Amino acid sequence: MVEVIVPELGESIREGTILRWLKQQGDEVQEGEILLELETDKVNLEIIAETAGVLQGVHKQAGATVAVGEVLAKIEAIDGQVRAATDDHKPASDAGGRTGPRTEPVQTPPESHPPAAAKSDAPHATEDRPLRPTPSMRRMARSAEGAPERQPVAPTASVASAAAPAPEKSTGAPAAASAPSEPQQRPAAPADGHRISAAMEPGRSDEKSVRMSRRRLTIARRLVEAQHTAAMLTTFNEVDMTAILDIRKRRRDRFREEHGVGLGFMSFFTKAVVSALRSFPALNAEIRGEDMILKQHYDIGIAVSTDKGLVVPVLREADRLSFAAIEGEIARLAQRARDDSLTLAELQGGTFTITNGGVFGSLLSTPILNAPQVGILGMHKIQERPIAVNGQVLIHPMMYLALSYDHRIVDGSEAVRFLVRVKELAEDPESLLLEG
């Protein structure tokens, strides 16, 4: 027997979630054939068969959380003989030593059956305290009986809920329940109070429970951790985008013809950030215990939004790249992110992050640190605004910039001067060419 185990998943990743099995118990598999897909905090991985044989002992189904080194199944090697394991007329032994006809496991969507790891949080009965059913247990019991029972549930609050968008308020009437043998009178209540009570009732037909993906759960956890562990502050400034827009207008077509990629804003701000980091190295550092690690390399994380959540692939050695190389590499990483084909190496080791909420229309925001980094620059929407120029009020294309930083090792004066330096370089983009 060859065990199928969860392999080492990379730096700081100790567990994953089974997305789906491509092979089922009793299937013959070939060496190198994909057995299942595993979702981790950062990327999805394929686990392959290390030998040819018959897949046996599958005991972790889709939706289950599994740890590095955990055995998922076993492969019984093919020896050229007709195998008892594949003979449907012969009983097979299960993990508990019992025998019986082999049956195919039923794949259940994660929405219906939570993974085994989540069940550890359920209450347990003791001699002193009997098991009390939770609201979710009561809902499942009522669903099984086919007779929903309405019981008001007190609303609860959660820290994690702050990281997720609030559900839309529903004003529809609750689903009809089976009528009892004798009608019961509802106590009179104001219309608004009735709607509030109805909105809190479990099992409504206009609600849908969707299990959060491991990536979404990890994003939520890391964002909350960043706010709890770092002394995070944000400073703001604005940049006049006139010069950059002028260069792009004059050079855009020729740039694309020569380099095969468009001239965007990210190359200008990446260059400006690298230059400012050289002048203020504390923003290109991280905290390890009681030490401050100052880094002399500039690996810039570029935040990319995908259907499965935000990922931050890393632009390696950005200080050594030309404008064209930066634009080409960002385009490549963004496409790989949207195709869900990034590798762990492409996501690890960034020293500073840039995020551009302006592509979605954001005018101003406070970005959250990408730990263990101590600085992140937020770009925003370019909007024409009246500004004073040499005593005259003129309309210029302006962009707000936001720098969030860890005040434990970055002083306020450093953060402000860093952001001013980025602003000055962006407003005089020719200086970036000279520095490059």
380-400: pLDDT as tens digits: 999 999 999 999 999 999 999
- Cα separation of 332 and 329, whole Å? 5
- Containing 304, the helix (H) or strand (E) segment is strand 304-306
Q: Mean of the per-residue pLDDT values for the chain? A: 77
Taking residues 97-125, what's their average pLDDT? Answer: 42
Enzyme catalytic residues:
407, 411
Write the Ramachandran bin of 184: left for phi over 0, alpha for psi from -120 to 50, otherwise beta.
Answer: beta
For residue 88, give both structure tokens: 């449907």
232-435: in CATH 3.30.559.10: yes
- Cα separation of 396 and 234, whole Å? 25
Q: What is the pTM of this model?
A: 0.59
pLDDT band at 328 (very low <50, low <70, confident <90, very high): very high
Q: Which stretch, 159-168, 185-194, 273-282, has highest mean pLDDT?
A: 273-282
For residue 386, give both structure tokens: 């009246």
In the chain, where the domains are located: 2-100, 232-435
- Cα separation of 408 and 285, whole Å? 11
Give the model's pLDDT for residue 399: 97
Between these two residues, 331 and 167, which has the higher pLDDT value? 331
CATH top-level class of 2-100? mainly beta
Give the model's pLDDT for residue 139: 52
For residue 201, give both structure tokens: 């009732």
